Amino acid sequence: MNNQLTNGGIWNDLSGQPIHAHGGHMLFHDDYYYWYGEDRREDIYVSCYRSKDLFNWEFRNHILTTSTPAAPIRVRTNLRLVNDKGGKVNLERPKVLFNAVTKKFVLWVHYENGDNYNDAACAIATSDYPDSHFVYHGSFNPYGYMSRDCTLFQDDDGTAYFISAARDNADLHIYRLQEDYLNVESLVGKLWQGEYREAPAVFKRNGKYYMLTSFCTGWAPNQGKYAMADTMDGPWGMLSDFGDETTYQTQPAFVLKRSEEEYLYFADRWNGSDYFQSSYVVLPIEFNGDIPILNHYSTLSLGEDTHLIHFER
């Protein structure tokens, strides 16, 4: 069993294989954390792992591949999972929520055609299970807008939001989803026009909403920013610095809320010259009043009480 992780190192699953879950998201369901993320090997798009302690990860399934079954829904979509040349498309930054009304696990992801980034679409898949039997429902452009780096956020009342970069990454859009999470209901916000923010991650603390983002610098890290709002519909405040000038060489993936006072920043440390040497970083978000603060820690370890995570510089 593993009780220590090194930030920026290659993390392995319980079988000793590297974890492939970049740009990912975590869902806590029935006593397990499910970690979904990009897996660019062979015919795979998205893989899923699960853990009870965030340190020991069991590989579950490749939940989206080129051969995943596809089925239409009421939204008109492109159902293809291979491109015109027979090659892979790109599916990036997969996020999964559980819909308590339909009892479905619903995945949203950024879709591109595999040749270029001109499609700039989102795509949806669903399953009755958190880690298998997903059905792909196709890609589309919400209200005709570009949709690139993205995330999902589920509020306390079950209302869900899809946040994605639009207009060639110049703006971020917030969409409220319909009750079953299978379509956008309304565009409730256009944020920071012309400021080129991507890699959004949203969390809620003490009634306030926070969004973390990065600047657009390709694979290279940059200064992270955060903003706050009293509602998801906004208004959202101006962007303020989060972490150091490279966000400790990371880009946000998601924020995991473990309790009212424990928020974990999960991030990718990309390797632009060798994607498969990209790694993960987890840091605690600390607070000065309402202001989120990100400090650097090199390792995290599991305490004797598995609910406690210790960070060391």
Three-state DSSP string of 179-213: CCCCCEEEEEEEECCCCCEEEEEEEEECCEEEEEE
pLDDT tens per residue across span 161-211: 999 999 999 999 999 999 999 999 999 999 999 999 999 999 999 999 999
pLDDT tens for the 313 residues of the chain, in order: 889 999 999 999 999 999 999 999 999 999 999 999 999 999 999 999 999 999 999 999 999 999 999 999 999 999 999 999 999 999 999 999 999 999 999 999 999 999 999 999 999 999 999 999 999 999 999 999 999 999 999 999 999 999 999 999 999 999 999 999 999 999 999 999 999 999 999 999 999 999 999 999 999 999 999 999 999 999 999 999 999 999 999 999 999 999 998 999 999 999 999 999 999 999 999 999 999 999 999 999 998 766 789 999 9
Predicted pLDDT at 179? 98
Predicted pLDDT at 63? 98
For residue 111, give the nearest of 153, 155, 80 by alpha carbon. Answer: 80
Predicted pLDDT at 305? 67
| pTM (global) more than 0.95 | yes
If 0-12 CB within 10 Å is exposed, 13-18 middle and 19+ buried, where does residue 2 land?
middle
Task: Map tokens 């989120």 to a residue.
Answer: 292
Helix (H, G, I), strand (E, B) or coil at 147: coil
Q: How many CB atoms lie within 10 A of CB 250?
A: 28
CA 301 to chain centre: 23
